[in-house]
Amino acid sequence: MQIIKVKNYQELSQKVAEIVKNHIQLKSNLVLGLPTGSTPILMYKLLVKMNKKGEINFSQVITFNLDEYFGLSANNIQSYHYFMDKNLFSKINIKKENIHLLDGKTKNPQTECDKYEQEINEAGGIDLQILSIGHNGHVAFNEPGSPFNSKTRLVNLDRETKINNGRYFDSAGKMPNQALTMGIATIMSAQEIILMATKNKKEIIEKTLKNMVTEQIPATILKQHPNCTLIIEQE
Name the residues annotated as catalytic: 67, 136, 138, 143
Q: How far is the CB of 62 from ligand GLP (least distance, A)?
A: 19
Contact between 132 and ligand GLP (CB under 6 A)? yes
Contact between 176 and ligand GLP (CB under 6 A)? no
Contact between 184 and ligand GLP (CB under 6 A)? no
Q: How far is the CB of 15 from ligand GLP (least distance, A)?
A: 16
Sole binder of ligand GLP in the list 30, 66, 194, 197 (CB under 6 A): 66
| Residue closest to 38 by CA, chosen among 203, 196, 204, 221 | 196
**Contacts (Cβ under 8 Å, ≥6 apart) of 35:** 65, 66, 130, 131, 132, 140, 196
Contact between 13 and ligand GLP (CB under 6 A)? no
CA distances from 173 to 70, 105, 162 (A): 14, 19, 9
Sole binder of ligand GLP in the list 12, 32, 33, 39 (CB under 6 A): 39
**Contacts (Cβ under 8 Å, ≥6 apart) of 53:** none
Q: How far is the CB of 120 from ligand GLP (least distance, A)?
A: 17
Give, as ranges, the residues between 67 and 126 that touch ligand GLP (CB under 6 A): 67
Nearer Cβ to ligand GLP (57/106)? 106
Question: Do 86 and 54 contact (CB within 8 A), yes or no?
Answer: no
CA distances from 144 to 17, 29, 139 (A): 29, 34, 9
- Binding part of the chain for ligand GLP, among 29-37, 51-59, 110-118, 144-152 by CB under 6 A, reads 29-37
Report the helix count and the strand count for the chain, using DSSP H and E: 7, 10
Q: How far is the CB of 134 from ligand GLP (least distance, A)?
A: 5
Q: How far is the CB of 59 from ligand GLP (least distance, A)?
A: 27
Residues 181, 6: Cα–Cα separation, whole Å: 29
| Residue closest to 67 by CA, chosen among 217, 167, 176 | 176
Nearer Cβ to ligand GLP (62/175)? 175
Looking at residue 94, its amino acid is I
| Binding positions for ligand GLP, rule: CB under 6 A | 35-39, 66-67, 132-134, 140-141, 161, 165
